Amino acid sequence: MLVIFDVEGVLLNAEYLPVLAKLMGPEKEKEIWDITIKGINGEINWEEGLRKRVRALRGIDYNRAFEIAQSLEIMPGAKQLCSFLKRADWKLVAVSGGFTIITDRLIKELSLDKIFSNQLIFKNNKLDDVIISVTSDKSLAVKSLIDKNSFSKDDIIVVVDGANDLKLFNLSSFNVGFCPVDIVRKKADVVIERKNLADLIPIFMEKFGNKLIPKE
């Protein structure tokens, strides 16, 4: 079985760029939040919104950006859920519209098998630009992994929160909306209403119990 997670708002209890924007004052923080929310809700072109947010934060020091990235809170219940699933030898993958600076740590902390994300570019230790590898169609990022491992739709579960995650639902037989926006709520098979990923453990046990027997 393969579980595909979003990162910001799912595995991490934060949105990185709005937190980073606090370094530049409340007006800049509001500007970044406004664009972020529109992107999550699917109200603007996601890629252009991302580039716009990064441009607005140009000049931020790398050391401060890294420090903030490392301080972002892991979502409550994430470690319990991932540990539970790994004991049954499930594959865990994250797909993020965010950046390697926030996602790299999750490989070790949550025992993930793979993370797909974008990359912030720093020049002379100052934020300058972004390389976008994960687009608004996040399914494209994981397609090769799915094909390589011969996962069928019945083998895949998706756990997300935002409108820019919806195309992942096309890959999966079981879709979870985690504290989601309205459009995800309507399309998800199950909705988790509180910020605790461990709430998924009994749901997975009920639906996939025979596939959750711990491996020796």
pLDDT digits (tens, 9 = 90+) for 81-112: 999 999 999 999 999 999 999 999 999 999 99
Q: CB under 8 Å to 106, separation ≥6 — which residues?
A: 7, 11, 12, 74, 94, 112, 115
Query: Which superfamily does 2-13+74-119+133-211 belong to?
Result: HAD superfamily/HAD-like (3.40.50.1000)
Give the domain 16-71 fold: DNA polymerase; domain 1 (1.10.150)
Percent of residues, the chain, with pLDDT higher than 90: 84
Q: What is the pLDDT of residue 216?
A: 58
Q: What are the Cα distances from residue 189, in Å, to 15, 86, 174? A: 25, 23, 6
3-state secondary structure of 181: coil
Ranges in the chain annotated CATH 1.10.150: 16-71
Q: What is the pLDDT of residue 213?
A: 80
- CB count, 10 Å around CB of 69? 22
3-state secondary structure of 147: helix
The torsion angle over the Cα atoms of residues 88, 14, 189 and 202, rounded to 10 degrees, is: 40
What mean pLDDT comes out for the span 120-131?
A: 97
Ranges in the chain annotated CATH 3.40.50.1000: 2-13+74-119+133-211
Distance (Å, rounded) from C-alpha 118 to C-alpha 98? 6
